[in-house]
């Protein structure tokens, strides 16, 4: 027989079903809390794994830039934070990138073009950070001679909004910088290592680029989803029990109604 939602709600008003509901809700709350606990573990393990990977990348021996990234080729995700070295000559057209935070303080990056000796292509290089665009170190010139630079690769940023004073840019965008510095160019840029020859006095070294988030541990995330599904199953179980209860009540009512005519016929006249 068909059981309507109204039938289920009538069955749910019975004390026994209310007691079962309370018990199942408590159980669902326990399952939900266990799911949150597993989610916390998934995030913590993801952060720890990301930190270990970052530490390994930061201390990895640098490889030649030419062996991992060619000019005007796609910057793939596996190159993020790659420790590389190359040789070239810095250009004179140095730019400041304001609005960049370092250790909780807003300042500016010092961005300088490097003409790579082996390819002739331009590689944007972040030589360091200054607390203000008016800081004397912001105008410190790069080395004039050919230098070997060491640092970490970062993917080029999207084009900025513009509108800044001359000598400043709001994005490290190779697609925009090629119009100013000429080409060919690389699709990424380099953040100098703290011991690099291109690090001028007064510039604050940035070190290994920080990452937002560390991912999750998929196994613990799966456990979290399982606990939450168990909680939903407990609620679904009560809804099904309401249907069974409503059907039993309807069958009992139908049996009582069928018994009444028989009792009338059996009554003596």
pLDDT tens sequence across 17-33: 788 878 888 888 898 99
SS3 call for 260: helix
Q: How confident is the model at residue 54 (pLDDT cuts 50, 70, 90)?
A: low
Q: How many angstroms separate the Cα of 57 from the Cα of each of 63, 196, 230?
A: 12, 17, 40
pTM of the model: 0.62
SS3 call for 149: strand
Is 199 within 8 Å of 190 (Cβ atoms)?
no
Q: Which helix (H) or strand (E) holds 112?
A: strand 105-116
- Measured between alpha carbons, how far is 156 from 190 in angstroms, rounded to an integer? 10
pLDDT tens-place string over residues 162-221: 788 888 999 999 989 999 999 899 999 999 986 555 555 678 888 777 655 556 778 888
DSSP state of 85: E
Which residue, 242, 197, 203, is CA-closest to 24? 242
Residue 165: phi and psi, rounded to 5, are -60, 160
Residue ranges of alpha helices (H) inside the chain are 5-12, 15-58, 174-181, 218-266
Tokens at 82, concatenated: 């790659």
Q: How confident is the model at residue 73 (pLDDT cuts 50, 70, 90)?
A: very high
pLDDT of residue 90: 93
Q: What is the dihedral of CA 146, 148, 153, 159, to 10 degrees?
A: -10
pLDDT of residue 163: 81
Which residue, 258, 228, 246, 234, is CA-closest to 32? 228
DSSP state of 213: -
* Higher pLDDT, residue 131 or 259: 131
């Amino acid at each position: 027989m068909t059981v309507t939602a109204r039938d289920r709600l009538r069955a749910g008003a019975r004390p026994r079903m209310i007691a079962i509901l309370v018990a199942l809700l408590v159980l669902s709350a326990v399952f939900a809390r266990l799911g949150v606990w597993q989610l916390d573990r998934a995030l913590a393990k993801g952060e720890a794994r990301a930190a270990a990977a970052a530490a390994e990348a930061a201390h990895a021996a640098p490889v030649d830039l030419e062996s991992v990234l060619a000019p005007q080729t796609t910057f793939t995700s596996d190159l993020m934070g790659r420790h590389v070295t190359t040789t070239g000559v810095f250009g004179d057209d140095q730019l400041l990138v304001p609005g960049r935070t370092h250790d909780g303080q807003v300042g500016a990056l010092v961005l300088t073009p490097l003409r790579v000796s082996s390819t002739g292509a331009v590689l944007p290089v972040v030589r360091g950070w200054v607390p203000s665009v008016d800081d004397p170190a912001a105008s410190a010139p790069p080395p004039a001679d050919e230098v070997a630079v060491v640092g970490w690769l970062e993917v080029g940023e999207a084009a900025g909004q513009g509108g800044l004073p001359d000598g400043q840019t709001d994005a490290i965008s190779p697609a925009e910088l090629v119009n100013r510095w000429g080409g060919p160019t690389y699709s990424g840029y380099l953040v100098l290592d703290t011991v690099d020859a291109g690090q001028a006095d007064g510039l604050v070294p940035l070190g290994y680029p920080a990452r937002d988030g560390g991912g999750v541990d998929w196994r613990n995330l799966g456990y979290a989803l399982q606990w939450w599904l168990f909680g939903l199953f407990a609620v679904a179980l009560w809804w099904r029990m309401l249907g069974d209860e409503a059907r039993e009540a309807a069958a009992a009512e139908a049996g009582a109604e069928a018994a009444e005519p028989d009792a009338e016929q059996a009554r003596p006249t």
